Amino acid sequence: MEENFNALLSGKTGISVIENIETIHKDSIKVGEIKKSNEELLQQLQIYGANDFSRTAMLGAIAAKQAVENAGIENINDYKTGLISATSVGGMDMTERFFYNYLENEENRRYINANDGGNSSHNIADYLGLQGTVTTISTACSSAANAIMLGARLIKSKKLDRVIVGGTDALSKFTINGFKTLLILSDTYNTPFDNNRKGLNLGEAAAFLVLESDEIVQKENKKVLAYVSGYGNANDAFHQTASSENGEGAFLAMEKALKVSNLSPENIDYINAHGTATQNNDLSEGRAIERIFGKNTPEFSSTKPFTGHALAAAAAIEAVYSVLALQHNIIFPNLNFQEKMEEFDLVPQTKLKEKNLEHVLSNSFGFGGNCSTLIFSKS
């Protein structure tokens, strides 16, 4: 996490040429890749011998474990604890490696079970020793925001005392080729909200946060890093993959989140935008931001030039970044921006900026018209 924060402060991007996956698109795309092999990740997890961990599960287990340690949790089952994870590719990285091979020989058949999204969460939960409530959300690129939303609701409804929430997605040929056929992959570094933006860079990542009830905080005298004060999910109901031009779903999601938090738009000090740098998203999101905030839009930026778009994990990374922003009173820059979009007057924050932040709003949108907004507030 410290490495992430330092990169955000120094403007150092995590986008590079792909190394871990053999793909014919190697030279025509750039990605946010974690430069560790599966063998190195397993070693880091101290998992030896046969296992059915997909790369998605490995990344998730590392991040979830860090979150649990960071929250000072010693016994994972001492309170009613849940894990809500998000993934879009699940174990696709293994399925695409061994697809025909499964029928030909036995060696890799243990990964057959790793294909479904739930398997990565099971592996993470088992790695943490968590027996209780475990589930997985998959709503494409808004998935992790929805995991955080469910976690907050489970605590609010007193169903659980503590919930580990977040998401994990590994890079795969499946997603690389999928987004490639949709013609929304940039051949260079992604440039959110720029008039000449060329598309997104895919990324891989896992990020988790620990949500705890007021009761735990009081009883254990815990230091609160930030509050989840608002959340909203809405459906654009416009097209399976494209967002509506007026950003209806995004508008509704932000409106709901503001209502849940009892805040008005003027209270939001910084927007961590979804900002994928596709033609469609940035226009739709920008329009929705304008509809909510009017002429008084606070500083906003997309941090995807640092990380790439990590699909189901994206909102979890950005939730962590939002909390870091609140803790340090810093707005992270929207790298690579040069020219304002012609459709509106919105200009993202391009330089690192110090500002007292009380409330940060974070957007995440996905296929299927899925639109989510979270609001984080200073503790």
Partner 1 sequence: MKKVYINGLGCISCQKTFDTDFLEEAVLLENQNKNVVSAIEPVYKDYISPSAIRRMAKGVKNGIVASAMALKDASISQVDAIITGTGMGCIEDSEKFLKAIIDNNEEFLTPTSFIQSTHNTVGGQIALGMQCKGYNFTYVNGANSFESALLDAKMQLENDENASILVGGIDEHAQYTMEFYKVAGLIKNDDETNFSVLNSTSEGYVSGEGAAFFVLENVKSANSYAEILDVSIFNSLEINQVEKEILDFLQQNLVSLEEIDAVVLGYNGDGKQDDYYKNLSEIIFKNLPQVYYKHLSGEFFTASSFGLWMASKILKTQTIPAVASVNSIEKESYKTILLYNQYRGKDHSFTLIKHADA
Q: With CB under 8 A as the contact rule, which of the stretches 5-13, 205-213, 244-252, 286-294 interacts with partner 1?
A: 244-252
Touching partner 1, residues 165-184 (CB under 8 A) = 173-174, 177-178, 180-182
Which neighbouring-strand residues pair with 301? 272
In angstroms, rounded to a whole number, what is the distance separating the alpha carbons of residues 171 and 307? 12
Active site residue 239: no
| Cβ nearer to partner 1, comparing 177 with 279 | 177
At residue 159, φ and ψ (nearest 5 deg) are -75, -35
Give me the 188-227 binding string for partner 1, x by CB under 8 A, dash otherwise: ----------------------------------------
Of the residues 25, 122, 141, 239, only one is catalytic, namely 141
Active site residue 274: yes
**Exposed, middle or buried: residue 296 (CB in 10 Å: 0-12, 13-18, 19+)?**
exposed
Q: What are the percentages of helix, strand and coil residues in the chain, rounded to 5?
A: 40, 20, 40
Q: Could you say whether residue 87 binds partner 1 (CB under 8 A)?
A: yes
Active site residue 309: yes
Q: With CB under 8 A as the contact rule, which of the stretches 53-61, 87-95, 216-224, 344-352 interacts with partner 1?
A: 87-95
In the DSSP assignment, the letter for residue 194 is B
Candidate residues 19, 40, 78, 126; the one interacting with partner 1 per rule CB under 8 A: 126
Among 264, 245, 281, 265, residue whose Cα is nearest residue 367 = 281
Touching partner 1, residues 270-289 (CB under 8 A) = none
In angstroms, rounded to a whole number, what is the distance separating the alpha carbons of residues 24 and 115? 24
Furthest C-alpha separation in the chain: 63
Give me the 288-327 binding string for partner 1, x by CB under 8 A, dash otherwise: ----------------------------------------
Among 324, 39, 307, 308, residue whose Cα is nearest residue 209 = 324
Candidate residues 41, 63, 150, 209; the one interacting with partner 1 per rule CB under 8 A: 150
Residue with tokens 């509704």: 252
Q: Could you say whether residue 243 binds partner 1 (CB under 8 A)?
A: no
What six digits make up the tokens of 221? Answer: 């005298």
In angstroms, rounded to a whole number, what is the distance separating the alpha carbons of residues 204 and 366? 16
Touching partner 1, residues 13-32 (CB under 8 A) = 23-25
Among 154, 172, 63, residue whose Cα is nearest residue 114 = 172
- Kindly list the residues in this chain that would bind partner 1 in the complex (CB under 8 A): 23-25, 83, 87-88, 90, 92, 95-96, 99-100, 102-103, 106, 109, 112-113, 115-119, 121-122, 125-126, 130-140, 146, 150, 153-154, 156-157, 159, 173-174, 177-178, 180-182, 233-241, 248-249, 252, 366-370
Residues with a catalytic annotation lie at: 141, 274, 309
